[in-house]
Structure 1
Amino acid sequence: MATKERAFISFDIDHDEGAKMMLAGQAKSPDSPFDFKDNSVKEPLSGDWKEKVQRRMDNVDVVIVLCGTQTHTATGVAAELRIAKEKPKPYFLLAAYSDKTCRKPTSASTSDKLYKWTWENLKSLIAGKR
């Protein structure tokens, strides 16, 4: 069996926790290319919050930024993406909903593509095809 990539899921806890639960659930699929390792923390952006996220990201292979309708206002997601870029960890932006307008975090580059969330896309993105 192939080694699974360890994924950190960054998401807007206030608006997209249900979508994150679905994504984490997909990691349990027998043909999943990733393991759900860690995710966003709901703490104020002060103290050692960023340090905790940095340590969590040290133990993952890829960062999945789950983008919902309010992600552009989620300061925690923006900070987590900045940390992923600083590490540098491979990352990609995944649209949390197919029937809504999903927004990128403010720290995303203009060249960062927002990918549709399909099982085939997810497997390709985890494999580095982005």
Structure 2
Amino acid sequence: MGDIVAALQSAELIPSVLPTPPKEKLNVVFDGINLEPGKEIPVRNLKNAPRVTLKCDPESTFSLIMIDPDNLSRKNPSVAEWLHWLVVNIPASNILEGINGGQHQQPYGSPAPGPRTGEHRYLIVLFEHQGRRLQVQKFNTRAKFN
């Protein structure tokens, strides 16, 4: 886990976006490419939602979020955090096999940074909520998610 924490700190995601380090490493695969902390992946490989898995308690329920804290750009994050994906009430069986269940409150929206906006950081986080289901309203916008 030290490499993940170091990469998140190096990218200035901890503590500015993520207040505390993750407890487990997610397995995230975009278009056949395994995501590693700090690894750059071409935008063309981000068109489809990734496969996200984690070994977990089979009785748990999860929510997943993917955000871009650098939208419009890192120097001008005027619409950050940009919500790329939000799935709530995911049964553990779907986390063990790859997310294909749960309530998609915001369907996957592939990253499409504008020209001359520099590199963007993307954060995918999975939250466990100990079996209780969340009641979340649909969002009208992806901008300024918090």
TM-score computed with the length of structure 1 as normaliser? 0.26
Whose helix proportion is higher, 1 or 2? 1
TM-score computed with the length of structure 2 as normaliser? 0.24
